[in-house]
């Protein structure tokens, strides 16, 4: 699945056939067909695999005892590293050619991201890292929207890498919600999480 994801997410979905995919990855077509019958199933399984990889970030790291800002920095770094090769054309292809699959996958991701960001925001308030008066639901929705926009080719400036844009989004978010203590902590820690 890792090879399939890397190939298809970097190449875009329209630019290859199942035969091309099997040939390039040296997978016998008969073996491939045993697990995935067609391109629609491939898209479904790839998006489910991507979703599981995203959820794994939270299983691999124990965020329970970690500062809320450090947690955000870890997650953002993981996102940038795991999805840096995803083609911006992918979201366009998914929305145009697989709208129902895309919508279902998007909704699953949105639920997880919103749940995790809400937990982080409350934890940050409790720790004194985030301002008490922030609107947690609004921030969670806006953060999710920014992440989704990253995969729209019309929203990605060509002069910046995926990692630079992800770093900007987290910087913008933290500076907007942090207390003075949180901001000082963030400024001290952010260099440890540089991706570029």
Let me know if residue 18 belongs to a domain.
no
Let me know if residue 8 belongs to a domain.
no
Let me know if residue 35 belongs to a domain.
no
Task: Report, as an integer, the average pLDDT of 142-168.
Answer: 74
Give the chain as a 3 state SS string.
CHHHHHHHHHHCCCCCCHHHHHHHHCCCHHHHHHHCCCHHHHHHHHHHHHHHHHHHHHHHCCCCCCCHHHHHHHHHHHHHHHHCCCCCHHHHHHHHHCHHHHHHHHHHHHHHHHHHHHHHHHHHHHHCCECCCCCHHHHHHHHHHHHHHCCCCCCCCCCCCHHHHHHHHHHHHHHHHECHHHHHHHHHHHHHHCCC
Let me know if residue 6 belongs to a domain.
no
- Work out how many domains the chain is built from and give that number: 1
Q: Which domain holds residue 77?
A: 43-193
153: pLDDT strictly greater than 60: no
Task: Report, as an integer, the average pLDDT of 35-52.
Answer: 93
Let me know if residue 5 belongs to a domain.
no
Let me know if residue 16 belongs to a domain.
no
156: pLDDT strictly greater than 70: no
pLDDT tens per residue across span 55-75:
999 889 888 889 999 999 999
Q: What is the pTM of this model?
A: 0.85
Give the CATH number of the domain where residue 77 resides.
1.10.357.10
Let me know if residue 185 belongs to a domain.
yes
Q: How confident is the model at residue 87 (pLDDT cuts 50, 70, 90)?
A: low
Task: Report, as an integer, the average pLDDT of 36-48.
Answer: 93
């Amino acid at each position: 699945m890792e090879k399939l994801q890397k190939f298809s997410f970097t190449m875009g979905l329209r630019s290859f056939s199942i035969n091309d995919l099997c040939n390039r990855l040296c997978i016998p077509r008969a073996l491939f067909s045993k697990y995935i019958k067609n391109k629609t199933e491939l898209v479904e399984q790839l998006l489910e695999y991507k979703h599981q990889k995203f959820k794994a970030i939270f299983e691999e790291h124990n965020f329970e005892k970690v500062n809320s800002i450090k947690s955000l920095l870890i997650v953002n770094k993981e996102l940038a590293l795991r999805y840096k090769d995803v083609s911006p054309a992918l979201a366009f292809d998914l929305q145009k050619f697989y709208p129902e699959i895309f919508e279902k996958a998007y909704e699953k991701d949105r639920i997880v991201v919103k749940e995790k960001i809400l937990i982080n925001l409350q934890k940050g308030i409790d720790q004194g890292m985030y301002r008490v008066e922030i609107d947690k639901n609004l921030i969670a929705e806006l953060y999710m929207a920014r992440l989704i926009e990253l995969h729209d080719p019309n929203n990605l400036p060509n002069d910046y890498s995926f990692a630079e844009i992800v770093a900007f989004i987290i910087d913008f978010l933290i500076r907007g919600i942090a207390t003075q203590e949180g901001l000082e902590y963030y400024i001290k820690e952010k260099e440890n999480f540089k991706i570029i």
